Amino acid sequence: MSLTKLTTWNVKGINNIVKRRKILSSLKKEGAHIAFLQETHLSDFEHAKLRRDWLDQVFYSSFNSKSRGVAILLHKRLPFTLEKCYKDSEGRYVIISGLLYGEKLILGCIYSPNTFEASFYSKLIAPELDQNPDK
């Protein structure tokens, strides 16, 4: 297994094509294999453009073009095989599970509400997200 570089970034909106390309260029320049983006402010359609510009796997949850939105970007050379993807309809989280270098892996990008909301956190630990193979 080789080293994998992860980065997380609150991008505060990437609807602007120039800003989106600068951010993607920066991620590529720093050698990010996995990038977690918060506050993408992208629609489903715009997230598809993000996939095109990144050139590989993009998993996301959208809300609208003015707020929220999260994404996980995986580098094209990363040998990741997706098993499941969970996301909410409010652009707050996306959680993926799969195999990376033959090892089971769960990755999540979460943009939590500014105030504590117990219902939000209970969704994150819901039984359908339990991926423990020992049970």
Q: Are 42 and 70 in contact (CB under 8 A)?
A: no
d(CA 80, CA 107): 11
Q: How many helices (H) and strands (E) does the chain have?
A: 3, 7
117 marked ligand binding residue? no
Helices (H), the chain: 17-29, 44-54, 118-124
Residue with tokens 């590989």: 56
64 marked ligand binding residue? no
Binding-site annotation: residue ranges = 10, 39
Binding-site annotation: residue ranges for Mg(2+) = 10, 39
